[in-house]
Amino acid sequence: MAGVVLENLSWKKLIILGVFLLVLLITFFLVGGLVAPKPSNVVTVLGTKCYDNGKKLNRSKWFVSRGIHKCEELQNLDPTDEMIVNKSITEKQVVFSFWLPGPRGGEERKMTPLFQNMLAVLQVDIEHSDKVPLSKNPVLQLDVRLGARDEGDDEDDWKQIASSVEDRNLQCTLEKGKGEGYLYDCELLQLFELGSISNHYYLVNIRLPVNFLKGYNVGIGKVVDISIHLIHQNGGFTIVWMSMKSVLFVMVLSLLIWFWRRIMQLGRPPNLLERTLFSLGVVMSILDCPIELLQLGVDIPFMLLLNDIRQGAFYAMLMSFWVIFAGEHIMDQTERNRLSLYWKHLSAIIFGSICLFVFDMCERGIQLKNPFFSIWVTSAGTKLALAFIILAGIAAGCYFLFLCYMIFCVMKNISAKKASLPTMSQLRRKYYLGVIYRFRFLMMATLVCAACTVVFFIMSQLNEGEWRWGDEDLSLEFTSAFFTGVFGMWNIYVCGLLSLYAPSHKTVVEIDSADGSTEENVQLTQLPTTPSETSALQALTSKAAQD
């Protein structure tokens, strides 16, 4: 019986492989902690209050906050201001203009495709005033336009990307003891999200038209300023991230080809565990593939949605593999290699994945047509989104506990099989003890990988909604070390499984002699096997079950 590499590899080579993978894992954490900058960056741009002096509202005109075509600026929006009184300026003639990303150090900054994507969050400064009161749960209606241009274009050559009229629910509070002139503490509002950055500069124009008959922008209080918090991926992190993914893609794909060639050399069809492991390698390769590099030259607005789908497919495949991997070693019956045995577990994973996909399509999918759309803008949508995040975290925790239970059963089952070892010869007993120890270590590594994956998933869900809960610090990013480390851990885990669970070419097992001074080549007697068995551990389990 050839078995797998995990069982037939010498201890010396196995230790070298383990040390190499451990050093590689530490390297990924160090790259994130010492080399890569933080994953995302936040830029705050204060809106310029522009005056639309036309007799009729011209919604096709762009109002620019700086440059040679700078708009006529209003210093404040106080109704008693001399300029507002003299020119009889109404709220429809006030345009909040934002030139993104904004200057720094006296120099004009520009966006780059290395930023990958951007999210704009709106902060409204409302001053407490008895003359202009803030009603309870008011609705802020935004007449908003988004335009863009490149560095070589004329300063007035802004091309419209999208325009819309959107409603946002204001949630504002005022500290006790604060009165006239103090600002309310208002929750942040999502403005728009772009999945690709293909231009150097972006321009946002926002109007707050009041319609007393329909109740638009009535009771929103005294708006004094509006700011945009622009969140995008850090360009330096993108370079490190793409370099890391490119190396891992080549490594995993090479091991995957080698693994499948070993499977094809067998005189039998691949069993369930081998097919599942191969599928996991394929999905890992798809996730590693640095297709984001295409964004450096091509506008791909659906890249965020595509990345979410790749990430979700990997989560589903990884969880399915863990269930099958543990299940194939927990059963006492000899009949294996049937996917139908796991239909309950896989159905739950598939159902959860479909829910994730539908939820993501409701957000990212609609944003492909309207970047100002958000499921968080209504009370029902906010409750649904928060409920989804909470349920996703609970489901991930429950899955981890269930996996712990399965691994515990596997360990208990394997320990029970050790009762048959004393009846074997010394060399044979030593061989199977080594196999059991190696398998236990692999199961512990699986448990650690699962724990880190669940923590990463829960943190990503909390991070997704963090700013939506009014966090003023906007600490949206993980630490780079944790981000690159967990991603590297997934790849190392998959590479380790592909290496150790590939069919071994050895038919003779080398076992150290009792005194450790020499090595004896011992041909072990074949145990009764089924077509689905590939390892000595499975054969030992089958033999004990038959006895």
Pick from 14-23, 99-108, 426-435: least confident:
426-435
Is 160 within 8 Å of 209 (Cβ atoms)?
no
Q: pLDDT (tens digit, 9 = 90+) per residue, 102-147?
A: 888 778 889 999 998 899 999 999 988 888 888 888 888 999 999 9
pLDDT bracket for residue 527 (50, 70, 90):
very low
pLDDT at 107: 80
Q: Which residue has the tokens 């543990």?
A: 326
Q: Which residue has the tokens 């659906």?
A: 302
Is 220 within 8 Å of 128 (Cβ atoms)?
no
pLDDT at 47: 92
Sequence-distant (≥ 6) Cβ neighbours of residue 421 within 8 angstroms: 429, 432, 433
* Backbone φ/ψ region at 146: left (φ over 0), alpha (ψ -120 to 50), beta: beta
Per the prediction, the chain carries an average pLDDT of 81
Burial-class residue 322 by CB neighbours within 10 Å (0-12, 13-18, 19+): buried
**Dihedral angle computed from the Cα positions of residues 282, 283, 288 and 292, in that order, rounded to the nearest 10 degrees:** 120
Angle at 235 between CA 229 and CA 237, to 5 degrees: 105
pLDDT(480) > 90 = no
pLDDT(395) > 90 = no
- Take residue 24 and report the two structure tokens written for it: 């590689």
Q: Which DSSP symbol is given to 136?
A: S
CATH of domain 5-39+237-546: 1.20.1070
Mapped to the 3 state alphabet, what secondary structure does 487-537 carry? Answer: HHHHHHHHHHHHHHCCECCCCCEEEECCCCCCEEEECCCCCCCCCCCCCHH
Where is 12: in which H helix or E strand? helix 11-30
Rounded Cα distance between 395 and 359, Å, is: 16
Rounded Cα distance between 169 and 189, Å, is: 8
Please compute the mean of the pLDDT values over residues 309-325 and round it to a whole number: 91
Angle at 12 between CA 7 and CA 17, to 5 degrees: 75
CATH 1.20.1070 intervals, the chain: 5-39+237-546
Other residues' Cβ atoms within 10 Å of the Cβ of residue 545: 13
pLDDT at 537: 58
Please compute the mean of the pLDDT values over residues 329-345 and round it to a whole number: 69
pLDDT bracket for residue 335 (50, 70, 90):
low
Burial-class residue 301 by CB neighbours within 10 Å (0-12, 13-18, 19+): middle
Q: What does 363-388 look like in DSSP terms, one character per residue? A: IIIHHTT-TT--GGGSHHHHHHHHHH
Q: pLDDT (tens digit, 9 = 90+) per residue, 120-131?
A: 999 999 988 888
Sequence-distant (≥ 6) Cβ neighbours of residue 129 within 8 angstroms: 180, 181, 221, 222
Rounded Cα distance between 531 and 514, Å, is: 34
Task: Tell which residue, 255, 397, 399, has the closest CA to residue 318.
Answer: 399
